[in-house]
Amino acid sequence: MFSRLSRALIASITVLLPAAVLAQTYPTKPIRLIVPFAPGGTNDILARMVATHLSQTLGENMIVDNRPGFQGIIGTDLAVKAAPDGYTLLMVSWAYTMNPVLVKLPYDPHKALEFVAKIGASFLVLSVGPSLPVNSVKDLLAIARDKPGEIVLSSSGGFMHFATVLFTSLSKQKFNIVLYKGGFPAMMDVIGGQTHATFAVSVPALPHLRSGKLKGIAVGTLKRAELLPDLPTLDEAGIKGYDASNWYAIATASGTPRAIVMKLHDEIARFLTSPEMQKQMTAMGAVIDLKTPDEMRKIIPVEIAKWAKVAIDAGMPRADK
């Protein structure tokens, strides 16, 4: 584990090197990409796609390292405390901007990371499994009204937790929310009948929605999803004002030389703009939304403030209370 002094020394030494030299020599050893959630979810799927591309273009192995737990904070903390040399990357999602609202973090979310690139976004599908005979949001709310606290919504930390609590708050019905280490296991328990419903992320959910193992009843965006045009939005279905979608980005430890950050950004941008990647993202139910490090630096505080307001409005327990 690197001390603060060690991190500062590494950063100061590398800053003195010409940017061109850093860009030309990096990388010289394998790069670890930490995914702070369980395998199989959207973060994991996108991380492995990016890792495969970077391995090919940078000429070094990219090792995807799943470190689930504590709403993504465990894996994030590992990346934050890694040497700022570009050899430890982190897959980041909206959970990063929601966790500060809920818990006291071992790092400062405003300063802990240097974002390489925002790569895309996905939408949520309110989905039910075979154990629940409903065909619409109206049906789901009717059962919840008749059986308060008995309908189980499987969820996970961070973004999924906010999305689920926002739904229960706006619906004014009592559900039993069960938290999982990731969205994928939460979704699989709905399919298996252990729980009743979930907000499934579009990327891993689409195959199961198409096969009939999951039944989608609404999407969580204000506009209908192009891939599922027959599904109403939650706003249309009576949950007025509901709007929640997820984004994904690659980051590294704060203090990483900008030449390395920009080399990674440029490689990821080249990948995202390729016709093959655009086709894959569309088929998965995700959209490409490339942002630069400077743009992400402005987005993060805005997102943290947005979800703090959601927590206050929904009466969620907060870190500042």
233 in a structural domain: no
The pair of three-digit structure tokens given for residue 172, joined into one six-digit string: 């004014």
39 in a structural domain: yes
pLDDT tens readout for residues 217-250: 999 988 888 889 999 999 999 999 898 878 899 9
pLDDT score of 117: 98
The answer to whether 57 touches 88, Cβ cutoff 8 Å, is no
Distance in angstroms (rounded) separating the CA atoms of residues 310 and 321: 15
What number of residues does the chain have? 321
Q: Please identify which residue in the block is written with the tokens 């906010």.
A: 162
Same domain, 97 and 141: no
CATH number of the domain to which 209 belongs: 3.40.190.10
240 in a structural domain: no
Q: Nearest to residue 121, comparing CAs of 298, 286, 274, 303?
A: 286
Q: Nearest to residue 44, comparing CAs of 78, 77, 111, 93?
A: 93
63 in a structural domain: yes
SS3 content of the chain, % helix, strand, coil (to 5): 45, 20, 35
pLDDT score of 316: 76
**Phi, psi for 281 (deg, rounded to 5):** -65, -40
Helix/strand/coil for 192: coil
231 in a structural domain: no
Burial of 190 (0-12, 13-18, 19+ CB in 10 A): buried
Same domain, 115 and 251: yes
Burial of 289 (0-12, 13-18, 19+ CB in 10 A): middle
The answer to whether 267 touches 187, Cβ cutoff 8 Å, is no
**Phi, psi for 125 (deg, rounded to 5):** -125, 115
Q: Please identify which residue in the block is written with the tokens 């016709």.
A: 275
Average pLDDT on 99-107 reads: 90
pLDDT tens readout for residues 112-159: 999 999 998 888 999 999 878 999 999 999 999 999 999 999 998 667
pLDDT tens readout for residues 173-198: 999 999 988 888 999 999 999 999 99
Same domain, 21 and 91: yes
Torsion on CA atoms 211, 42, 164, 244, rounded to nearest 10:
-100
Distance in angstroms (rounded) separating the CA atoms of residues 101 and 209: 32
Which residues, in sequence order, are bridge partners of residue 66? 35
Same domain, 48 and 68: yes
Residue 1 pLDDT > 90:
no
Give how many domains the chain has, as a whole number: 2
Give the range of the structural domain holding residue 80, as residue numbers without chain letter: 4-121+246-314
134 in a structural domain: yes
Same domain, 95 and 13: yes
215 in a structural domain: yes
How many C-beta atoms lie closer than 10 Å to residue 306's C-beta? 13
Same domain, 114 and 166: no
238 in a structural domain: no
The answer to whether 124 touches 224, Cβ cutoff 8 Å, is no
Torsion on CA atoms 292, 296, 297, 301, rounded to nearest 10:
170
